[in-house]
Amino acid sequence: MRGKSLSLLTTAHNYQEQDKDVLIMTSAIDDRYGVGKVSSRVGLNCEAQPIKPEDNVIELITKSLKLDTEGRTVWPHCILIDEAEFLTAQQVVDLANIVDTYNIPIICYGLRTDFQCNLFEGSKTLFEVADKLEEIKTVCQWCDHKATMNLRMVDGAPVYDGDQI
């Protein structure tokens, strides 16, 4: 699906335009544009805190928190996660706990399924625990209908089997 990272970057811009702090994170598994980088196909990009499968996201987030002038911890107004499909189930549960405990919106962007229509671990858990789900719609470049599947391409040719990632 196209437009996920662009939507994340737009959301970040909208918060930042109002002088609100945003923490941007992305899966370290997606290294197409470099680890810790959110990039859209239209050329916009930004740095992000990478999340490795072995990382404790609560620790990553708390390490990034700032202190105000009186020494109190300041949470961001929003946490944005790109490539959320690559998160582990525990990482997604931990993010949901942060939402519930600190009342901070966490908006995750990612794919539902892989090229064989199998749920990713992170996506499956998001479906189970997310408070709200929104679909970003796009059109299939092959049939001009609503895109509902992902197609893996290698050297310009479709591939129908192989590893999930």
Q: Specify the DSSP class assigned to residue 85.
A: G
128 among known catalytic residues: no
* Cβ atoms of 46 and 8 closer than 8 Å: no
- Could you tell me which of 31, 151, 12, 165 has the C-alpha nearest to residue 86? 165
Rounded to 5°, angle at Cα 111 from 132 and 91: 65
Which member of 17, 54, 70, 83 is catalytic?
A: 83
Contacts of 54 (CB under 8 A, 6+ apart): none
As annotated, the active-site residues are 83
